[in-house]
Amino acid sequence: MTIPQYPLPPGRAAIHDPAIVEDRGTYYIFGTHRRCARSTDLVHWERFENNLSRNPESVLGGIWEAWPKQPENPDLNGNTWAPDVIWNPVMGKWCMYLSVNGHDFRSVIVLLTADRLDGDWTYVGPVVYSGFDRANVENTDVPRVLGDDSARDLPDRYLSLKDTRINAIDAAPIMCEHGEMWMSVGSWFGGIWMFRLDPTTGLRDYTAAYPYVKDACDPYYGVKVAGGYWNSGEGSYFVRKNGWWYLFLSYGWLGTTGGYQIRIFRSKHLTGPYVDQNGNPAICAGEIPDNLTKDTGVRLTSSVLWSGGPDRIGSVEVSQGHNSVLHRRSDGRLFLTYHTRFIEREGEDYETHIRELLPTEDGWLVAAPYEYQGQVATPPTHPTGRPDTCSSDDAPGPWTAKAAHPSWLSGDYELVRHDPHTFYNGERDADGEFVGINRPETITLQPDGRVTSGGAVSFFDTPEANLPRSTDGPAVRGTWRMLGDCGPAGVRCCDTDMAITLDGVTYTGVFAELPRETDGRMTLTFSAIGGNRTIWGARLT
């Protein structure tokens, strides 16, 4: 992976596979190749160093020599991947889980601890291995987990890349709502697996046993939660909010033209089963060619070119992925943190970007349409700065002083659809436009609840009589409404929840005012999910 050479704007960070964590009002990001940065506002970042970045051999040299190092990859510096960091209250330590990567998937995730996030790290030990075979399995903890006899007669599934020969990368430690510690591990091809940790040591809990159940559970790697069968899916991350566990996965490949993208599933239980909005399971039942263009998983973001930003082809985000999520302590808000590449930057250059995540009334999470710039998503406010009241010409009410009124939420909006079937691949279509760049269409949210677009339309619906007719005005595409009416008074409990039915699909979403990326102007937006798809809207004036 090439270290970015593109000049970063002041305050920008370029951390690949970013893991975000908070301590005492300061935010920290740790990423691949031991790069790290900190911020007090989630906008302005500064790099800092520690003993891992200065001298990784002094910390990781022993385990590097013992397992991953091979003639094909003799340099430790390029083989420290995708850490994640969590506070362990039992140990009273910050715990970092880091992949030390080897050729042919001979990798190991190790635990390091620190007293301070901006301090030095102490090596503790290995947590989970991959890439073992019958000749070298004795050099791992597999015999301790499976038993000596089972390890010596290693099952064939650990030798199959379409079964359980995974790569021990992308650790995601989790503290569940009951106080147990778990960790997911996985790889692009072998699926995502999860096993329990011992909170007193931060290492594997060797008292936990898992039966072998094909495509569901493995004695060494634990519970299967997603992927498998050589289908793309990596960088798992888990978040609990409003009674749901959300699983984030990155489909595709991380290169500029690789279609890297974030998809989301949910479950009532940490260990699953995880499904998308249409009920499709996160676990694969077999090979799915080009699964990054299929309908499993809800795609959260895509490559967008629109007036609020990005508004230049060179600044369009492509290959967005390997996210983490900050659950901010001060207000409970969620922030999606990911790396992204760009069309016109050479050398696989990348940046770290952050967007707020917004919960919908039906229990899903959607991403804010604009990158976070220090202003959280706020409920809509009256254009004149004062609350509105109903008149006989207004939409049904009455409306309370704090309730958003349809008459001032209506207007012309840019609408972007996050198409799960396409991605930027460097090719152009017949019109010369890049494939996979989602451009907006204009729709109008009418005060009476209709959704329209365009002008009057002439059409034939009785071809045998050859009788043309035209609409009286713009064609109706659907309807929209605010959610949360409660009781005969018509008083709503929320100023943001909304639903929009567009071309036969109903989306549930959130209205929010956000600053545009291009000029910082506060703009009314919506983010919504429906039919296993997500959409963004931004008012034009």
d(CA 116, CA 19): 16
Domains 18-367 and 407-457+471-539 share a fold: no
- List per-residue pLDDT tens for the chain, 541 residues long: 555 567 888 999 999 999 999 999 999 999 999 999 999 999 999 999 999 999 999 999 999 999 999 999 999 999 999 999 999 999 999 999 999 999 999 999 999 999 999 999 999 999 999 999 999 999 999 999 999 999 999 999 999 999 999 999 999 999 998 889 999 998 889 999 999 999 999 999 999 999 999 999 999 999 999 999 999 999 999 999 999 999 999 999 999 999 999 999 999 999 999 999 999 999 999 999 999 999 999 999 999 999 999 999 999 999 999 999 999 999 999 999 999 999 988 778 999 999 999 999 999 999 999 999 999 999 997 665 544 443 334 433 333 434 567 778 999 999 999 999 999 999 999 999 999 999 999 999 999 999 999 877 776 666 666 667 777 778 899 999 999 765 444 444 457 999 999 999 999 999 999 999 999 999 999 999 999 999 999 999 8
Which tokens is 372 given?
Answer: 């976070």
Sheet with 350-359, strands from edge to edge, namely: 317-327, 334-342, 350-359, 365-367
368: Cα separation from own chain's centroid: 12
Q: What is the CATH number of domain 18-367?
A: 2.115.10.20
**Residue 111: CB partners within 8 Å, gap ≥ 6?**
95, 96, 97, 123, 124, 125, 126, 127, 202, 203
Which tokens is 176 given?
Answer: 């569940």
**Residue 107: CB partners within 8 Å, gap ≥ 6?**
67, 68, 99, 100, 101, 129, 130, 131, 167, 168, 169
pLDDT in tens, 396-429: 333 343 456 777 899 999 999 999 999 999 999 9
Q: Which residues are catalytic?
A: 17, 234
Domain-by-domain residue ranges, the chain? 18-367, 407-457+471-539
State the alpha helices, DSSP H only, in 139-229: 142-146, 148-152
Which tokens is 74 given?
Answer: 């003799």
β partners of residue 514: 523
CA dihedral 271→19→298→537, nearest 10 degrees, is: 140
State the alpha helices, DSSP H only, in 140-247: 142-146, 148-152
d(CA 368, CA 374): 13
CATH entry, 407-457+471-539, from 2.60.40.650, 2.20.25.90, 2.40.128.10, 3.30.70.3270: 2.40.128.10
Q: Could you give the 3-state DSSP secondary structure of residue 63?
A: helix
Note the pTM of the prediction, 2 decimals. Answer: 0.93
pLDDT in tens, 122-160: 999 999 999 999 999 999 999 999 999 999 999 999 999
